[in-house]
Amino acid sequence: MLDPNQLRKDLPSVVAALARRGVSFDTERFAQLESRRKAVQVETETLQARRNAVSKLIGQLKSKGEDASKEMAESQAIPEQLKALEQDLSAIQAELNEWLMTIPNLPHESVPEGKSSDDNVEVRRWVPGPTDANGNPAPLPFEVKDHVTLAERFGLDFESARKLAGSRFMMLRGAAARLHRAAAQFMLDLQTESHGYTECYTPYIVNSSTLYGTGQLPKFKDDMFWVTKGGQDKEPQLDEQGNPVEREDLYLISTSEITLAGSMRDTITPAADLPIKLTAHTPCFRSEAGSGGRDVRGVIRQHQFDKVELVQVVQPEASYQALEDMVTHAEAVLQKLGVPYRVMLLCGGDMGFGAAKTYDLEVWLPAQNTWREISSVSNCEAFQARRLQARYRPEKGKPEYLHTLNGSGLAVGRALVAIIENYQQEDGSVIVPEALRPYMGGIERL
């Protein structure tokens, strides 16, 4: 969530920054809310001053033996008036917060101008083999097959998944399932053993409060899978003491960023405990409303897929170095797998809702003859932390908001696509990358 104090102190710069994302900020609505807030606060302060004055006057009248009934009646009415003003102020603040929950983060000054992915800027690329005139991996010297054609031979099964759950799901059998597990295990081991992340196992179902905190709600509600709990209309939800509590909506996670960053909710972390570096391998569930027609063939865009997620929680002054580090942590996976990739700096119009700055990693897919995203790494600055009330305690002074960062390290299904297509052979077999062979029992070819 944006900082309300920044809106009050420097509204023009906020408006200009949001315009770089293609977002128009309703300054008139904000001015009206601020005017109402200030009016209530002024009335509250005036009434509080009057309460103090009346109390003093009552004491003076009584000390003189004079009648203070009129002043006492006024004094007795003031608490109810103050309570009403407090409720008015809370309502105004709630309206402001509800609105700010729908407004994206401000882009960092280093984010390039642009409206779409066409305006993203290539930072670097890594191609381990020969290249063509455009710097792309040289074409394979035989007719290229896509990952579906190649992997159906060793266990990729869309038909069974379609019977079980519908379109955009997959089932893996045998060697394909083992390759999928090997890739995820390799990614986890690399991030924990080489880059210092703590492995976590998290819930796959979260409540709506967590999703508001991390920024998926309210904007992306239609892209989430909701969970309906059996018998929820009959059985009240109870807390640990057995008292009834208000039931929250539940959702399947779309990324373990939600649970990893969400675990910092309502916490104050000692500065000495920072940075916090977390990773988890989880399934991710996305309904992707409105994405029909894109990538309907294959593994690229699924309703359920696996991902190894990276999250860092750091002090504000360390967050942009952490962002660069996290990009290299994701790159290390692709380099060890020997898959060509490039790093793209996203323009203002192409960034995700909570990001202040984002790098995308894109892998080369020979069958599509193009680069496709496999990881996004973002610095959210204090945007998530403010929503989560995640703070740290510096050595001196009051608690301050943390900066949170997240990134894929990597999307497992898309990594399989890149491996299968880049390591394909003319006879239709697929070489297993050396980095994965220890996880595959030494198997070298599928």
Are 327 and 346 in contact by the 8 Å Cβ rule? The answer is no
Instruction: Indicate whether 132 pLDDT > 60.
Output: yes
Mean pLDDT for 175-197 is 98
Residue 247's pLDDT band (boundaries 50, 70, 90)? confident
> What does pLDDT average to over the chain?
94
Instruction: Indicate whether 273 pLDDT > 60.
Output: yes
What is the per-residue burial (b if ≥16 Cβ within 10 Å, else e) of 58-77? beebeeeeeebeebbeebee
Q: Is the pTM of this model over 0.85?
A: yes
Assigned fold of 117-440 = BirA Bifunctional Protein; domain 2 (3.30.930)
Is 406 labeled as ligand-binding? yes
Mean pLDDT for 75-101 is 95
Return the domain boundaries, the chain. 26-101, 117-440
Are 197 and 278 in contact by the 8 Å Cβ rule? The answer is yes
Is 167 labeled as ligand-binding? no
Residue 229: the pLDDT is 72
Is 90 labeled as ligand-binding? no
Residue 37: the pLDDT is 95
Mean pLDDT for 382-410 is 96
Is 263 labeled as ligand-binding? no
Instruction: Indicate whether 45 pLDDT > 80.
Output: yes
Residue 293's pLDDT band (boundaries 50, 70, 90)? low
Tokens of 370: 């193009």
Tokens of 164: 């079980």
Beta bridge partners of 305: 284
Is 194 labeled as ligand-binding? no
Assigned fold of 26-101 = Helix Hairpins (1.10.287)
3-class secondary structure, 203: coil
Give the C-alpha distances (Å, rounded to integers) separating 126 from 84, 135, 322, 341, 363: 63, 10, 21, 5, 10
Is 408 labeled as ligand-binding? yes
Tokens of 358: 């984002």
Residue 297: the pLDDT is 77
Residue 357: the pLDDT is 98
Residue 246: the pLDDT is 74
Is 375 labeled as ligand-binding? yes
Residue 110's pLDDT band (boundaries 50, 70, 90)? very high
Is 208 labeled as ligand-binding? no
Residue 235: the pLDDT is 64
Residue 240's pLDDT band (boundaries 50, 70, 90)? confident
Best CA proximity match to 283, nearest among 201, 354, 353: 201
Instruction: Indicate whether 291 pLDDT > 80.
Output: no
Mean pLDDT for 128-140 is 96
Give the C-alpha distances (Å, rounded to integers) separating 107 from 11, 104, 161, 215, 322: 15, 9, 40, 16, 17
Residue 131: the pLDDT is 97
Mean pLDDT for 202-222 is 95
Give the C-alpha separation, 100 to 386, whole Å: 11
Residue 228: the pLDDT is 81
Q: Of 270-279, 283-292, 350-359, which range is least confident?
A: 283-292
Is 420 labeled as ligand-binding? no
The 8-class DSSP code of residue 244 comes to B
Q: pLDDT above 70 covers what percent of the chain?
A: 96
Is 376 labeled as ligand-binding? yes
pLDDT digits (tens, 9 = 90+) for 54-74: 999 999 999 999 999 999 999
Is 152 labeled as ligand-binding? no
| Cα–Cα–Cα angle for 270, 276, 279, rounded to 5 degrees | 155
